[in-house]
């Protein structure tokens, strides 16, 4: 088991390193130049040259890479070119709480709604509730996040006037959080619902459930206390699998609702061609996804010894 | 009492409305039993819109009409007009062109790369397999939309770049699933016999294995096209996809978002078009999967 974990972590580190290399070169081989965005309009060609030299952009790409690589291996991700030239880790770290708030609430919404509907659907297959649930799952899977967001704004901000349509700077207040979190969580409802429904259906067929039913326990207790406990393992796996999708979704959600998170930081830093900040954002996102993947693999190996051998 | 021949005659007699439907259509209907017919019809409808947009659309999709700015749905503009007075119905119809083209080409690109990787990995095994699968895992760990955004932002927003990005970042699903199929097929008797008969590996790959993964490929293709439609519109929504003034459903929504407080009609229809197309692809994909895999038919 120990060696399995070590091998998975090593693989993860190699993948992360390769991603950092790829991102470095894609950024620099693409069009645009960060210096254009840093200097004022009336900058002279000398200023331009000075700035280019200061950042080492005049040197060969491979030399620039070597410098980045050395720093990276020392744990230094560099300073941002925009954002007051502070260390990128600081810039990203500052935006992180807003994103975690949003992502966490979205996951919570997806799990609570998805699992509840899925479990009730499984207890009454083919009922009207089950059919409506299926329709909800199919729509949740097919609606793009930004459309869900706009529709929610239309309904709750424009028509009913209950909730604000933008995240604003001052807060992570609950009222501001509801719409963004719901749009981000909406597409995750479908997968949670489907997996809960199908595992619950299986569990509800088993002998021990028939036994507790025969004992005369009320259906609600059978469903939540006896059946759900056993059906919850795949649901928890799915919870982790969704993290990668959540990051992509956050970029879009944060843009619609002007939410001051990491996703918007990525879009902003890309527009200004702030290479170090872009690199750091993607580095951390990839590291996050890899950690979650390793965690899931290790959990699986722990639960099912056959995987360790393969 | 009826004699046997009469019985047959009665049975052969067309009854009710089904008798009015010609035989080939009835057969097609039988083949499509259980199929999401509405979804199939919508996909055909979207393809027709894409193909014949200039004929169907009542207006030029990029022509601005300052007398119609943000006009609500009316007789002249069935779905209303946007912030530059452009007819939303016409733009939605033309939008089908871009979404369908981008999604189909991108997914075919992804499928080709993925299938090739899967076939080579599965047939040759050994270190080739290990290296290819490590690369696949690496790509899978990429925060997909972030990288897509990055590449399109740097290479410039154009239809070609969007197609390339989706194609080259979405092949891993194909590679993984089809490699599993290939490994299973390599163990089957007919492949073993082909090897004994002296077929080379490339020949086994193309003649014996590939034809047997086409069903799986078809299912994946349909499901991935739905996802590609969403990705293209997401990139366009973020302003990094299909460049203006070409009407893409995503960029239409981006424009509409700013006017959501005064013009409800402008974001509703393009979003509905995306959702319907994606939903149709998903439902058809699910149906194809159940058809090719009898064990899932009951689910």
As a residue count, chain A comes to 310
Within-domain flag for A30: no
Residues of B in contact with A281 (CB under 8 A): 146
Overall number of domains in chain B: 1
Spatial separation of the C-alpha atoms in residues B181 and B219, rounded to whole Å: 13
pLDDT at B280: 93
Give the highest mean pLDDT range of A135-139, A235-239, B242-246.
A135-139
Determine the residue among B135, B146, B158, B254 to mutate to test chain A binding: the one whose Cβ has the most chain A Cβ atoms within 10 Å.
Answer: B146
Domain-located, residue A12: no
In a domain, A117, yes or no: yes
Residue A94 belongs to a domain: yes
In a domain, B128, yes or no: yes
pLDDT at B275 (0 to 100) = 93
Q: Give the per-residue SS3 of chain B.
A: CCCHHHHHHHHHCCCHHHHHCCHHHHHHHHHCCCCCHHHHHHHHHHHHHHHCHHHHCCCCCCCCCCCCCCCCCCCCCCCCECCCCCEHHHHHHHHHHHHHHHHHHHHHHHHHHHHHHHHHHHHHCHHHHHHHHHHHHHHHHCCHHHHHHHHHHHHCCCHHHHHHHHHHHCCHHHHHHHHHHHHHHHCCHHHHHHHHCCCCHHHHHHHHHHHHHHHHHHHHHHHHHHHHHHHHHHHHHCCCCCCCCCCCHHHHHHHHHHCCCCCCHHHHHHHHHHHHHHHHHHHHHHHHHHHHCHHHCCC
**Coil, strand, or helix at residue A75?**
coil
Predicted confidence band of residue A58 (pLDDT cuts 50, 70, 90): confident
Q: Across the interface, which of B141, B260, B299 has its CB nearest the CB of A15?
A: B141
Residue B260 falls in which region: left (phi positive, over 0), alpha (psi -120 to 50) or beta: alpha
Q: How many domains is chain A built from?
A: 1
pLDDT at B298: 45
**Which residues in chain B show pLDDT less than 50?**
1-2, 297-299
B2: in domain: no
* Pair of tokens at residue A247: 């990051």
For a pLDDT cut of 90, what percent of chain A falls above it?
5
Output the domain CATH number for residue B84. 1.10.3720.10
Kindly report which listed range (A27-41, A92-106, A145-159, B5-19) carries the lowest average pLDDT score: B5-19
At A246-295, the pLDDT tens digits run 888 888 898 888 888 898 898 888 888 888 898 899 888 888 888 888 88
Kindly state the DSSP code that residue A56 receives in the 8-state scheme.
Answer: T
In terms of Cα–Cα distance, which of B135, B140, B103, B138 is closest to B116? B135
Whole domain around residue B195: which residue ranges? 35-60+78-292
Q: Is residue A95 part of a domain?
A: yes
pLDDT reported for residue B10: 55
The shortest CB-CB distance from A251 to any of B146, B153, B233 is to: B146
| CA dist., res. B112 & res. B101, Å (int) | 17
pLDDT confidence of residue A310: 46
pTM of the model: 0.82
Query: What is the extent of the structural domain holding A172?
Result: 89-256
Q: Give A-chain residues touching B180 at CB under 8 angstroms.
A: none
Q: CA A62 to CA A65: how far, in whole Å?
A: 5
Whether A148 is covered by a domain: the verdict is yes
ipTM over 0.85: no
**Best to test chain A binding among B150, B155, B279 (most A CBs inside 10 Å):** B150
Inter-chain contact A139–B256, Cβ cutoff 8 Å? no
Confidence of residue A172 (pLDDT cuts 50, 70, 90): low
- Does A266 sit within 8 Å of B153, measured CB to CB? no
Question: Rounded to a whole number, what is the distance in Å from the CA of B116 to chain A's nearest CA?
Answer: 22
Residues of B with CB under 8 A from a CB of A: 134, 137-138, 141-147, 149-151, 153-156, 226, 230, 233-234, 237-238, 250, 253, 256-257, 260-261, 264, 267-268, 271, 274-276, 278-279, 282-283, 299
Is position B195 within any domain?
A: yes
Quick check: is A119 in a domain? yes
Task: Tell me, yes or no, whether B67 lies in a domain.
Answer: no
Best of A142, A264, A269, A310 to disrupt the B interface (most B CBs within 10 Å) is A142
> What single-letter DSSP state applies at residue A230?
H
- Whether residue B122 contacts residue B129, with contact meaning beta carbons closer than 8 Å, is answered with yes
Q: Within a domain: residue B238?
A: yes
Task: Give the CATH number of the domain where residue A245 resides.
Answer: 1.10.3720.10
Question: Which of B234, B257, B283 lies nearest to residue A138, judging by beta carbons?
Answer: B283
Specify the DSSP class assigned to residue A83.
Answer: G
> pLDDT at position A221, please?
82
Residue A19 forms contact with B (CB below 8 Å): yes
B241 CB neighbours in chain A (<8 A) are none
pLDDT over 60 at A95, yes or no:
yes
Asked if residue B17 belongs to a domain, the reply is no
- What are the chain B neighbours of A24 within 8 Å (beta carbons)? none
Query: Tell me: the pLDDT tens digits for A115-125?
Result: 899 988 988 88
- Per the prediction, chain A carries an average pLDDT of 83
pLDDT confidence band for A75 (50 / 70 / 90): confident
């Amino acid at each position: 088991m120990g060696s399995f974990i070590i091998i998975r972590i090593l693989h993860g580190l190699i993948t992360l390193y390769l991603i950092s290399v790829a991102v470095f070169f894609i950024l620099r081989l693409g069009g645009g130049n960060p210096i254009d965005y840093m200097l004022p309009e009336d900058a002279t060609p000398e200023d331009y040259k000075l700035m280019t030299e200061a950042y080492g952009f005049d040197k060969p790409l491979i030399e620039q890479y070597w410098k980045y690589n050395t720093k990276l291996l020392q744990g230094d991700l560099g300073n941002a070119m925009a954002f007051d030239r502070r260390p990128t880790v600081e810039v990203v770290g500052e935006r992180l709480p807003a994103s975690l708030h949003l992502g966490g609430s979205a996951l919570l919404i997806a799990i609570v709604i998805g699992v509840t509907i899925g479990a009730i659907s499984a207890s009454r297959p083919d009922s009207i509730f089950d059919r409506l649930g299926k329709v909800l799952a199919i729509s949740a899977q097919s609606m793009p996040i930004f459309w869900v967001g706009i529709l929610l704004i239309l309904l709750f901000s424009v028509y009913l006037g209950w909730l604000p349509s933008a995240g604003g700077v001052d807060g992570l207040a609950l009222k501001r959080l509801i719409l963004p979190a719901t749009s981000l969580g909406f597409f995750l409802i479908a997968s949670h619902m489907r997996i809960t429904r199908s595992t619950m259906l299986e569990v509800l067929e088993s002998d021990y459930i028939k036994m507790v039913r025969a004992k005369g326990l009320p259906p609600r207790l059978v469903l939540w206390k006896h059946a759900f406990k056993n059906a919850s393992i795949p649901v928890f796996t799915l919870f982790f699998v969704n993290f990668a999708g959540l990051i992509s979704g956050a970029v879009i959600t944060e843009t619609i609702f002007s939410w001051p998170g990491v996703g918007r930081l990525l879009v902003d830093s890309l527009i200004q061609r702030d290479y170090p900040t872009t690199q750091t954002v993607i580095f951390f996102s990839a590291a996050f996804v890899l950690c979650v993947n390793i965690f899931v693999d290790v959990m699986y190996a722990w639960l099912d010894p056959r995987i360790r051998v393969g | 009492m009826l004699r046997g021949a009469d019985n047959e005659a009665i049975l052969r007699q067309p009854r009710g409305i089904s008798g009015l439907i010609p035989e080939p259509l009835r057969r097609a209907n039988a083949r499509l039993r259980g199929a999401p017919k509405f979804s199939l019809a919508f996909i055909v409808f979207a393809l027709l819109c894409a193909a014949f947009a200039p004929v169907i659309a009542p207006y030029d999709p990029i022509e601005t009409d300052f007398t119609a700015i943000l006009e609500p749905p009316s007789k002249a503009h069935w779905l209303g007009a946007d912030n530059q007075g452009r007819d939303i119905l016409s733009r939605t119809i033309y939008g089908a062109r871009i979404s369908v083209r981008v999604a189909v080409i991108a997914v075919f690109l992804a499928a080709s790369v993925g299938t090739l990787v899967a076939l080579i990995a599965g047939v040759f095994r050994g270190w080739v397999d290990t290296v290819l699968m490590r690369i696949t895992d690496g790509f899978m760990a990429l925060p997909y939309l972030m990288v897509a955004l990055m590449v399109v932002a740097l290479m410039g927003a154009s239809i070609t770049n969007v197609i390339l990005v989706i194609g080259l970042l979405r092949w891993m699903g194909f590679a993984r699933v089809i490699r599993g199929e290939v490994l299973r097929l390599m163990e089957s008797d007919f492949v073993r016999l082909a090897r004994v008969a002296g077929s080379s590996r490339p020949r086994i790959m193309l003649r014996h294995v590939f034809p047997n993964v086409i069903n799986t490929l078809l299912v994946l293709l349909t499901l991935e096209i739905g996802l590609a439609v969403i990705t293209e519109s997401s990139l366009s929504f973020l302003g990094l996809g299909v460049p203006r003034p070409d009407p893409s459903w995503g960029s239409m929504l981006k424009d509409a978002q700013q006017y959501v407080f005064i013009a409800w009609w402008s974001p509703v229809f393009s979003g509905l078009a995306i959702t319907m197309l994606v939903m149709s692809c998903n439902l058809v994909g699910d149906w194809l999967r159940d058809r090719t895999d009898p064990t899932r038919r009951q689910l």
